Amino acid sequence: MTLNEPEAAVELELSDWPESTRSRHSDVAGIESGHVSFLPKGILSMGYKQAGGCQCLFVRYEVTEAPRLVYTCHCTDCQRITGSAFSLGMVVGIDEFKLAQGELSPLLRTASNGQVRKRWVCPDCGTWICNGNAHPASPSEEVIRVVRPGTLDDTSWLRPTVHFWTRSAQSWFVLPINDLCFETQPNNVYAFFASGGKEV
C-alpha cells in the first residue's frame, strides 16, 4: 500500500473532460455494461425522485434519475478528505441534481496538475454533498455531477459496483466479486462517468 499517492483523486479529474465527451449521453442506468451491472436489480422500478440533504438539515436536494453508476474510491486523497477508508460517489446527469433548500459553499483545492477543483458543502455543518465546477443552480457545461450518496435519505439500495484506486485500499477491504475494479482509475474518468461506465 502506498501512503502518498501522487495522483489526483477521481473526483478531481472531472473538469478535465474533453469537449468531445460533453455532449455524450449515456443510456438509462441499470443496464448491463460489459460484464457488470452497475445497479442492483429492481432499482429502475423504484421510481425517482430521491431526496437527500446534510446532517443539520439546512441543505436539501433531489435527484430525479437513476444514477449512471455508483463507485468507491480508495485513493489516499479520498481517505484523507473523508477521514475514512474510502469515498462513495454516485454519478447523475447534471440537470438531475437539484438543490431544493438551503445553500452550498464551494471548497476549492488545487490538484496536482494545477487545476482548481470544487467540493460543495453545507456552510453550517460541513457535510460534503457533491462535486462539480458550477453551483447546482447555475448553468454548467458539464454533463454529469457526482453526488455523495451517503447523504441520501434512503441509502438501503446503495451498492457500489465500480472501485477505483484499489492499490491503496485498506488491507481489510474485500473487493466484491464480479465488480469492476481499477488499480488506479480510467484514463478518461469523465468519459467513463458520462457513459455510465461503458467507456473505459
Q: Is 56 among the residues that bind Zn ion (CB under 5 A)?
A: yes
Of residues 112, 125, 170, 178, which one binds Zn ion by CB under 5 A? 125
Q: How far is the CB of 75 from Zn ion (least distance, A)?
A: 3
Q: Is 122 among the residues that bind Zn ion (CB under 5 A)?
A: yes
Q: Is 54 among the residues that bind Zn ion (CB under 5 A)?
A: yes
Q: Is 9 among the residues that bind Zn ion (CB under 5 A)?
A: yes
> For residue 21, which of 195, 138, 197 has the smallest C-alpha distance?
195
d(CA 164, CA 40): 19
Pairing mode, strands 144-147 and 69-73: unpaired
Q: How far is the CB of 175 from Zn ion (least distance, A)?
A: 15
DSSP state at residue 152: B
Q: Is 81 among the residues that bind Zn ion (CB under 5 A)?
A: no
| 76 alpha-carbon distance from chain centroid | 16
Task: Please enumerate in sequence order all residues whose Cβ is within 8 A of that of 41, keeping only pairs 6 or more positions apart, or say none.
Answer: none
The residues that touch Zn ion, with contacts defined as CB under 5 A, are 9-10, 54, 56, 58, 73, 75, 78, 122, 124-125
